[in-house]
């Protein structure tokens, strides 16, 4: 696949990647801590050779965390948990948990309120996100380790 | 005046587009009207510390970049721009946080300065090479525009099965054209795309013969097989992108 042309992929093909393409994660999901943020990044193997990866970030201090399914550098699906507020291109404001979905018109700026997302457990929310992206998980997930020196502000 | 009164007075003087929420006795969350490139609003935390206030993003700006796997500080050019922005607003970068410590009377200015600094920092996201972002359909539309053709995008039409289809373009010429533009760089998706388009043309055509049916195939990728063209040609006129001028000449 010509990676330089990934940018031409349409919303319709992206939907196909999420729904129909067989995908799996075989590398363990382990969080690293740097610059005040916990982060993991794993490749998502797939039969069609799309450059897919799953990224997760977590800030213990703000309590916010996010997951993103990236097609090279485009977020084709995303989940934000925490106190964040989102402003949609059509002006609607979403407070708290929301999901991002790639559209041809607005790229990843379009978000919506998911019907059932439990953000009370980061690992639970991650498992649900992986399942929703139709990715088979063949690896372990670790919880982010919180350094002793970190204080939560509230 | 108590500390809480002092801070709440400062927050009340913010423009009405800023929203404030008290999280506990020493912490306030300010949601600004400024947006990160993905539409999430920039938020600041105000934390009471002895005689000062700390206004911080709690590393949320850096987390925005990291979620998109964009390493803000890996390029010398971006790092310099980042540092220039922080310098001009007197903002500190410490353990991933963008923050400033101020006295009560400086709180309002600190909130406005940090909001603007983060807004400018987040714009550095656009410096990455995102590559081509125009879809094939948009490229085809450009050609139709240049040829001064009247067209409609995402034309709704029913097939004999009762299913409703959205065809990429309806072109208003003597015998109206329905045009579908197809493109992919995946061999497997090409199969599904052909199945979909063949089914669509078949279903529409057996109900409605008013149109000329046209498929334009993006031949810049080598995913297409001869059998794909055979299937499409039975139901539509097929043009490849590299020879799209032939189609324009035919309908103009």
Residue A61 is assigned to a structural domain of this protein: yes
CA dist A42 and A69 (Å) reads 10
Q: Report the number of distinct structural domains present in chain B.
A: 2
Has residue A151 got a pLDDT over 80? no
Pair A44, A52: CB distance under 8 Å: yes
Chain A residues close to B220, C-beta within 8 Å: 5
List the domain range (segments joined by +) for residue B181: 136-251
Same domain assignment for residues B113 and B17: yes
Same domain, B19 and B109: yes
**What is the distance between the alpha carbons of residues B61 and B30, in angstroms, rounded to a whole number?**
14
Q: Which residues of A touch B24 (CB under 8 A)?
A: 154
Instruction: Using the predicted structure, report yes or no on whether residue A38 has a pLDDT greater than 90.
Output: yes
Helix axes B60-67, B107-122, angle to 10 degrees: 10
Report the C-alpha gap between A70 and A77 in whole angstroms.
7
* Mutation for A interface: B36, B46, B47, B67, most A CBs within 10 A: B67
Q: Give the whole-number percent of chain B exceeding pLDDT 70.
A: 96
User: Are B15 and B113 in the same domain?
Assistant: yes
DSSP code at position A72: T
Q: Which of A77-81, B17-21, B61-65, B195-199 has the lowest mean pLDDT?
A: B17-21
Over 50: is that where the pLDDT of A154 sits? no
B39 and B142 belong to one structural domain: no
Q: Does A60 score more than 60 pLDDT? A: yes
- A66/B134 Cβ within 8 A: no
> In this complex, do B38 and A68 lie within 8 Å of one another by their Cβ atoms?
no
Domain C-terminal end among B129, B152, B175 = B129
The CATH code of the domain that includes B120 is 3.30.1460
Same domain, B7 and B115: yes
Judge whether A152 lies within some domain.
Answer: no
At B166 the three-state DSSP class reads: strand
Span B1-23, pLDDT tens digits: 556 666 777 777 888 888 888 88
Print the domain residue range for A126. Answer: 6-142
Q: How sure is the predictor about A4, in pLDDT bands with cuts at 50, 70 and 90?
A: low
Contact (CB<8Å) A85/B40: yes
In a domain? residue A125: yes
Mean pLDDT of chain A: 88
Chain B partners within 8 Å of A88 (Cβ): 39
Q: Assign 3-class secondary structure to A82-132.
A: CCCEEECCCCCEEECCEEEECECCCECCCEECCCCCCCCCHHHHHHHHHHH
In chain A, how many domains are there? Answer: 1
Residues B107 and B177 in one domain: no
Q: Does the ipTM surpass 0.85?
A: yes
Q: Of B111, B129, B147, which residue sits at a domain end? A: B129
Do B124 and B16 share a domain, yes or no?
yes
Q: Considering the domain boundaries, does residue A149 fall inside one?
A: no
Average pLDDT over residues A2-28: 84
CA dist., res. B124 & res. B121, Å (int)? 5
pLDDT computed for residue B14 by the predictor: 81
Q: State how far the alpha carbon of B230 is from the alpha carbons of B172, B178, B197, B237, in Å.
A: 27, 19, 13, 11
What per-residue confidence (pLDDT) applies to B132? 52
Confidence tier at B92 by pLDDT (50, 70, 90): very high
Confirm if B207 and B159 have CB atoms less than 8 A apart.
yes
Q: Which residue of B has its CA nearest to A70?
A: B68
Quote the pLDDT of residue A5. 60
Residue B27 shares a structural domain with residue B104: yes
Q: Across residues B198-227, what is the average pLDDT?
A: 92
Span A70-76, average pLDDT: 90
Q: How far is B212 from chain A (nearest CA, A)?
A: 24
Domain check: are B92 and B161 in the same one? Answer: no
Q: Among A24-28, A35-39, A150-154, which stretch is predicted with the lowest mean pLDDT?
A: A150-154
Q: Are residues B59 and B105 in the same domain?
A: yes
> Average pLDDT, stretch A2-22?
80
Pairing of β B212-217 and β B177-182: parallel
Beta bridge partners of B48: B53
Q: Kindly determine whether residue B68 and residue A68, on different chains, have CB atoms separated by under 8 Å.
A: yes
Mean pLDDT of B50-64: 93
Please count the residue pairs, one from chain A and one from chain B, whose beta carbons lie less than 8 angstroms apart.
Answer: 141
My answer on whether B50 and B109 are in the same domain is: yes
For A118-133, write each residue's pLDDT tens digit: 899 999 999 999 999 9
Q: How confident is the prediction for chain B on average, in pLDDT?
A: 90
The model's pLDDT over B39-49, given as tens digits with 9 standing for 90+, comes to 999 999 999 88
Tens of pLDDT, residues B121-180:
999 988 775 555 678 898 899 999 989 999 999 999 999 999 999 999 999 999 999 999
- Domain presence at residue A96: yes
Structure tokens at A106: 């607005």
Residue A101 · residue A112 · CB < 8 Å: yes
Write down which residue in B129, B153, B179 finishes a domain.
B129
């Amino acid at each position: 696949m010509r990676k330089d042309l990934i940018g031409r992929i349409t919303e319709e093909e992206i939907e196909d990647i999420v729904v129909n393409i067989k995908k799996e994660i075989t590398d363990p999901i382990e969080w690293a801590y740097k610059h005040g943020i916990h982060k993991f990044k794993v490749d998502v193997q797939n039969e069609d050779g799309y450059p897919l990866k799953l990224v997760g970030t977590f800030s213990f201090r703000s309590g916010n965390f996010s997951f993103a399914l990236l097609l090279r550098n485009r977020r084709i699906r995303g989940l934000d948990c925490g106190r964040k507020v989102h402003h949609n291109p059509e002006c609607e404001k979403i407070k708290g948990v929301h999901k991002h979905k790639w559209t041809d018109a607005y790229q990843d700026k379009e978000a919506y309120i998911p019907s059932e997302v439990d953000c009370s457990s980061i690992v639970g929310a991650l498992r649900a996100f992986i399942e929703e992206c139709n990715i088979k998980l063949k690896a372990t997930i670790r919880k982010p380790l919180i350094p002793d020196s970190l204080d939560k502000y509230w | 005046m108590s500390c809480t009164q002092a801070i709440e007075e400062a927050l009340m003087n913010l423009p009405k587009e800023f929203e404030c929420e008290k999280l506990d006795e020493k912490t306030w969350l300010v949601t600004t009207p400024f947006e990160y490139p993905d539409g999430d609003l920039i938020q600041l935390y105000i934390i009471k510390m002895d005689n000062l206030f700390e206004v911080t993003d709690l590393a949320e700006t850096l987390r925005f970049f990291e979620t998109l796997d964009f390493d803000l500080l890996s390029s010398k050019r971006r790092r310099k721009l980042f540092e220039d922005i922080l310098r001009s607003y007197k903002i500190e970068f410490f353990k991933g946080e963008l923050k400033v410590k101020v006295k009560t009377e400086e709180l309002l200015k600190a909130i406005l300065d940090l909001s603007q600094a983060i807004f400018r920092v987040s714009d550095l996201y656009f410096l990455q090479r995102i590559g081509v972002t125009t879809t094939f359909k948009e490229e085809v539309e450009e050609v139709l525009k240049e040829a001064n053709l009247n067209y409609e995008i995402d034309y709704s039409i029913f097939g004999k099965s009762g299913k409703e289809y959205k065809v990429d373009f309806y072109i208003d010429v003597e015998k109206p054209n329905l045009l579908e533009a197809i493109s992919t760089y995946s061999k497997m998706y090409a199969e599904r795309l052909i199945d979909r388009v063949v089914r669509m043309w078949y279903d529409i055509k057996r109900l409605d013969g008013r149109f000329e049916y046209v498929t334009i195939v993006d031949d810049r990728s080598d995913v297409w097989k001869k059998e794909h063209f055979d299937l499409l040609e039975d139901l539509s006129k097929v043009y490849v992108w590299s020879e799209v001028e032939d189609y324009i000449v035919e309908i103009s």
